[in-house]
Structure 1
Amino acid sequence: MSASTHWLATASAQAVLERGGNAFDAAVAGGFVLHVVEPHLNGPGGDLVGIFATAADPATPVVLMGQGPAPMGASIAHFRAEGLTSVPGAGGLAAAVPGAVDAWLTLLRDHGTWELADVLSFAIGYARDGHALSPTAAATIDRVADLFQQDWPSSAALWMPEGTAPAAGTIVRNPAYAAVLEELVAAGTRSPDRASRIDAALREWRRGRVAHEASDFLARAHRHSDGRDHPGVITPADFAGFSAGYEPAVSVEVWGHTVAKAGAWTQGPALLQTLLILEGLEPSAIDPATAEGAHAIVEALKLALADRDAYFGDGDVPLPELLEPSYLAARRAQIGAAASREWRPGAVGGQEPFRPPLREDGAAPASAGTGEPTVARSGETRGDTCHIDVVDRWGNIIAVTPSGGWLQSSPTIPTLGFCLGTRLQMTWLDPASPSALHPGRRPRTTLTPTLVLRDGQAVMAMGTPGGDQQEQWQVPVLVRVLVGGYSPQQAIDAPSLHTTALIDSFWPRTWQPAGVVVEARIGEVIIDQLEARGHVVTRAGEWALGRVSAVGIDRDRATVWAAANPRGMQGYAAGR
């Protein structure tokens, strides 16, 4: 079974499974297709986080780490010298070292079975021969058309070849990226075996044309989201110094299941905190279909996300203390009958929590609830992402959330057909922050797929696009499945919601106290009751929040399943 945020990625992954490939072959094939068909949501210049379990060891969740670090030239002092008080949301100066391609190839080498040429044939075909531009990609290009024409001519040449933003459904091609993928395949043609052929492709990616041409191109000053021109700092040595790899997951027991996430260099443990806080309440008090349950979920999320912003980062995080039962009980006791309007991190281990500036955003939060990028003509960017899940007949199961390198991130490198990402915007130019900008350190990412186990065996892999909303949209799905008895598809289809009372991980790093965004079909009665509790509610439309997809194994019936998201009418689940 395969499920993803774009039907062509699902179709490609499923084709691999139909031809005898395993879940990892299929996920990699679909992942490279996502680079091509959702270029406004991810790209080869971006990053990814995955989580999986193998058929040989279904009890051990493993994290696929594809988040590159800050380049060695990306220091707080350098950004300050450029006259910046925060990392820009668009422009090459905000680029972390790309990690997605490295991670996909590493996964294929270590856990796949197919040759690289066969796995990449799907993406090469869509890039060279063309695919229909999605409505959301077309809308994104239209929003940044002025920026492309006036300041990023290489992006205009690729995405606006006729001089105007293309309409949805236009057949678009990217021969430059197809050539990059073909060069990765060609790099291993003289290698004696499959693994060494993929190693040759990895060396080519890290040390070859991509590293040099991306670095040279971005070294030229270009427009950033602060309205000024800056050169990038990434170098070929930064590319060569990064290798994707694997990490142990962080897991907790909740409602008779094990829920596994990546570590606190992501926001993943915030979901674990939220679930453990909710587990201490009565099941009837956490039903997302009631005002009481929606209130409890939102307030628990506020507490967990405040801890995220106070403590999480690529360093020494007091995670055991943040997941300790007595600490979470104290946090649970902070949930009152009314909506909190405060930013309330907890205190652990005698450590004073980092307190970032609270820059209140007076704008209506509706755009933040769409689940798609919001892009201003100045280059201000709030990017989204995509997702893919695969489970095979042998019991291998994986969820991957790729992101970054959005076509609106920075100028297209014309000889490569893609741009680099802007993940460094999630760091602070304050050395006191646990997620401060440091050369060689990973920015704390919002990418956060989930693996669920029962009785020591993996049973569900899931995730969603959505930036800061990724955990928030997964929590109601998990509560409905693990507590409410919903099927995964029913849980995904049910009305969703999220809070805006958090410090935005994306530039310009604002927050909206007491804000809650809901799908209108949650019902006016519930909305009225939430407003009576003090929540500032925004109706986001009937089907607007989240694009959760999932796959799983029903071990009682020895079957597999998949579920996709109807929102956006682009996600798809397939299987046999």
Structure 2
Amino acid sequence: MTFTTRPEITGTFGVTTSTHWIASAVGMKILEDDGNAFDAAAAMGFTLHVVEPHLNGPLGDMPLMIRPTGEAAPTMICGQGPAPAAATIAHYKSEGLTLIPGSGLLATVVPGAFAAWMLMLRDHGRLPLRAVLEPAIYYARSGHPVLPRVAHTIAGLAEFFRDEWPTSHATWLPGGTAPPPGALFRNPALADTWERLLTEAEAVEGRAAQIDAAHRAFYEGFIAGAIDGYLRKACVMDAAGERRKGVLTGQDMAGWSASYEAPLSVEYHGWTVWKGGPWTQGPTMLQSLNVLAGLDLQSMDLNGADFVHTVTEVMKLSFADREAYYGDPLHSDIPMRSLLSDEYAAGRRAQIGPQASHEQRPGPVPGHEAWAEAAIARAGLDLATGPGIGAGEPTMAHLTERRGDTVHIDVIDQWGNMVSATPSGGWLQSSPVVPGLGMPLNSRAQMFWLDEGLPTSLAPGRRPRTTLSPSMAATDGMDLAFGTPGGDQQDQWQLIYLLRLVHGGLNLQEGIDAPLFHTGHFQSSFYPRATRPGHLMLEPAFGEAVIDDLRARGHQIEETEPWSVGRLTAAARSADGTLKAAATPRLMQAYAVGR
């Protein structure tokens, strides 16, 4: 029996797991109140906006994977909003930019998460919208014990908020004082926003009609109006060190809605694995699995140097392809069929050598040579300078309390409905609070390039290629939902986790507690878009012998503090109806609940 920090949760009624114990408990309450997995996941998501505001917010973005009971495969819901109509390369360059700042108003795209939650709730939920929103309203109005990381993030930005983002200062430092860790923290403006939205929604009859009315209030009514009015006048400091106005309008919001789409999938050692399309980074995991399928992982120690080296080198290749070829398939001809072919995987497999690669190596795809050349050319350049206020997505690679991140949710109910969601954006440190709403805008546009002709070039109506990437998988006798926050690390940690389940026979908690690693070798998705050739970060639990072996193979080793890499959660359902869940002990926030 492998040591675990906590038990694998088991039951038959329902399981909820997330990156904050309050949200996981809220999800179980919704299941107890006759809600299903879709109701519970949404309630958890709105609660996480309140208790982890440095990691996600109501004006953020979210890919959402659902699998209603009886369905042969999951469905993706796209909650990733596109660039505004005025978000042109010419305009951004006229602002003196060569790279989109990681914070401030020009980093904002259409908020997408709310629409995704509403689409899922209307078509698959059971409970009225008020029941779903009430927990978030309670914690926003009555208060919740503020996490140390939230408190320290606010304290570190107190002067900046006071001088540059006064609306954020008023929200996050009520009375002019940063909340100490553990103090009850309230966001009454957010509670008021949700109460007004419910009042307007409940003016019509019928559950579905009320959810549609809530969507209109958000994207065409008072919320869109407040955003539009604020952005017409606001001119605020951003990560590039200048005060600039945004380009998002209420009309941009009114013209967009969330949508359903089929996920991509591959087969791997008796498992089917599903990921989002190339507007996410999800296909990197599928590409990696295709390459690894032809290698003998079964004979490797899953905590040994051969395993770490092999998986790292494969991930470098997959993420090089991400940088060259991924983007919004509605706007560019993304060669996913070629990238996921057996022939392509065989060619990439042949590139794995005994030493760590320090090169950026997108694979050859006929007709797309210019994209690959551009990706190689920009890798490693000193792309930006500036103060970096609020820039980037918290990766949780270190226990730094100033950096942001993302959250994750997995839910399975007694009927077998499954949800895996990765909400993010709208971080308190990345954009000022919209007056009267209690919520800041997102900064996902930083993932676009200001160069023409790429699948990730900034363009009106185009979705940024997000890092957000929930997962589902299935094998004979088990269905699995899993994911993690972590920016560029999401599909690295998830790949490692799945490989340990497949090849090591570990249970959900054992797989999560095993030591983790990742590489920053490739181009970062976040401002200032750095690369770290040959980089490999490991937890010390791998042991000195393994770490020394990897160093000898040419990896640029960065050893972390113990228990500091990854925020994985997972939930599973066996064929007999047994439910299981697990959550990472790292950072002491995530919890799984079930019975």
The TM tier, using the shorter chain, reads: over 0.9
Distance 2:399 2:420 in 1: 22
CA contact (8 A) 2:481 2:571 kept: yes
Please report how far the alpha carbon of residue 322 of structure 1 lies from its aligned counterpart in structure 2 after TM superposition: 0.1
CA shift digits 1:203-253 (9 cap, x unpaired):
111111111111221332110111100001110101101101211010111
- Matched residue of 2:436: which SS? coil
Q: Give 1:143 deviation, angstroms.
A: 2.6
Counterparts of 1:60 and 1:461, CA distance in 2: 12
Q: 1:136-163, CA deviations, whole angstroms, 9 ceiling, x for partnerless residues?
A: 1112212322211211111111111243
Please tell me whether the aligned partners of residues 278 and 286 of structure 1 are also in contact (alpha carbons under 8 angstroms). Answer: no
Name the counterpart of 1:8. Answer: 22
CA pair 142-106 structure 1, distance change in 2 beyond 3 A: same
User: Alpha-carbon deviations, 1:397-425, whole Å to 9, x = none?
Assistant: 11000000000111111200011010000
| SS of match in other structure, 2:191 | helix
Q: 1:233 is matched with which residue?
A: 247
Match among 172, 176, 184 for residue 189 of structure 2: 176
How many corresponding residue pairs? Answer: 565
Matched residue of 1:60: which SS? coil
How far apart are 1:446 and its partner, in Å? 0.3
Work out the CA distance in 2 between the residues paired with 1:373 and 1:198: 39
In structure 2, the CA distance between the partners of 1:39 and 1:8, relative to structure 1 (3 Å rule), is same
Aligned to 2:367: 350
Aligned with residue 127 of structure 2, among 114, 119, 129: 114
Specify the SS of the correspondent of 2:178: coil
CA distance in 2, matches of 1:107, 1:373: 34
What's 2:560 paired with? Answer: 540
Structure 1 residue 9: Cα displacement:
0.6
What letter matches 2:578 in structure 1? T
The 1:369–1:79 alpha-carbon spacing in structure 2 relative to 1, beyond 3 Å, is closer
Please say if 1:298 is aligned against 2:312: yes
Partners of 1:64 and 1:286 lie apart in 2 by 37
Which residue does 2:545 correspond to in 1?
525
Q: Secondary structure at the match of 1:25?
A: helix
Alignment-derived partner of residue 64 in structure 1: 77
Return the alpha-carbon distance in structure 2 between the equivalents of residues 185 and 285 of structure 1: 56
For the Cα contact (< 8 Å) 1:387–1:549, is it kept in 2?
yes
For residue 158 of structure 1, the aligned residue among 171, 176, 182 is 171
1:521-558 CA-to-partner distances (Å, cap 9, x unmatched) read: 11111100000000011111110111000111011x42
CA distance in 2, matches of 1:287, 1:310: 32
Unaligned runs of 5+ in 2: 1-14, 386-392
Alpha carbons 1:154, 1:414 under 8 Å: kept: yes
Q: Does the C-alpha gap of structure 1 residues 167 and 397 become closer, same or farther in structure 2, counting only changes over 3 Å?
A: same
Cα 1:562–1:46 change in 2 (3 A) is same
SS in 2 for 1:568: helix
Aligned-residue CA RMSD in angstroms? Answer: 1.8
Correspondences of 1:397-476 after superposition (within 5 Å): 397-455=418-476, 459-476=479-496
Q: Any idea what the Cα deviations from partners look like across 1:312-357, whole Å, max 9, x if unmatched?
A: 0003210000000011011011010000000000011332033231
Instruction: Indicate how the Cα distance of structure 1 residues 79 and 458 shifts in structure 2: closer, same or farther if over 3 A, else same.
Output: farther
CA apart distance, 1:373: 9.2
Does the CA contact (< 8 Å) of 1:373 and 1:383 recur in 2? Answer: no
Matching residue's letter, 1:478: L
Distance in 2 (CA, whole Å) between partners of 1:47 and 1:109 is: 19
The structure-2 alpha-carbon separation of the partners of 1:107 and 1:427, relative to structure 1 and needing over 3 Å to count, comes to same
Aligned to 2:510: 490
Name the SS of the counterpart of 2:563 in structure 1.
coil
Partner of 2:339: 322
Per the alignment, residue 379 of structure 1 pairs with none
Q: Kindly indicate whether the alpha-carbon contact (under 8 Å) linking 2:493 and 2:517 is maintained by their aligned counterparts in 1.
A: yes
Q: What letter is aligned with 2:545?
A: V
Letter in 1 for 2:253: F
Tell me, in whole angstroms, the C-alpha distance in 2 between the residues paired with 1:287 and 1:134: 37
Whole-angstrom CA distance in 1 between matches of 2:272 and 2:224: 40
Secondary structure in 1 matching 2:77 = strand
Distance between the aligned counterparts of 1:329 and 1:292, measured in 2?
19
Counterpart of 2:490 in structure 1: which amino acid?
Q
What is the deviation of 1:286? 5.3
Structure 1 unaligned residues grouped into runs of 5+: 377-381
State how 1:128-277 maps to structure 2 within 5 Å.
Answer: 128-219=141-232, 220-277=234-291
Assess, with a 3 A threshold, how the Cα gap between structure 1 residues 287 and 308 changes in structure 2: closer, same or farther: farther
What CA distance in whole angstroms lies between the structure 2 residues aligned with 1:51 and 1:287? Answer: 32
Residue 202 of structure 1 and its aligned partner are, at CA, apart by 0.6
Q: Distance in 1 between matches of 2:63 and 2:113?
A: 8
Distance 1:324 1:509 in 2: 29
**Equivalent-residue separation in structure 1 for 2:207 and 2:538 (angstroms):** 49
Distance 2:401 2:569 in 1: 25
What is the letter of the counterpart of residue 509 of structure 1? R
User: Cα gap change, 1:221/1:371 in structure 2, threshold over 3 Å: closer, same or farther?
Assistant: same
How do 1:555-566 residues align onto structure 2 when only pairs under 5 Å count?
Answer: 555=575, 557-566=576-585
What secondary structure does 2:570 align onto?
Answer: strand
Take 2:381 and 2:458, find their aligned partners in 1: how far apart are those partners?
Answer: 23
Matched position secondary structure for 2:176? coil
Helix, strand or coil: the match of 2:524? Answer: coil
What is the one-letter code of the residue matched to 1:351? H
Distance 1:162 1:534 in 2: 53
Matched residue type, 1:392:
D
TM-score, normalization by structure 2 = 0.92
Q: Deviations over 1:415-445 (max 9, x none)?
A: 0001101000000001122111100110000
Shift of 1:35: 0.6
SS where residue 67 of structure 2 aligns? strand
Cα deviation, residue 488, structure 1: 1.3
Taking every aligned residue pair, what percent have the same amino acid on both sides? 48
Matches within 5 A, 1:505-520: 505-520=525-540
For residue 190 of structure 1, report the CA deviation from its aligned partner: 3.0
Amino acid in structure 2 at the alignment position of 1:562: A
Alignment match, 1:370:
396
User: Alpha-carbon deviation of 1:460?
Assistant: 0.4
Q: Secondary structure at the residue paired with 1:260?
A: strand
Letter in 2 for 1:558: G
Secondary structure of 1:511's partner? Answer: coil
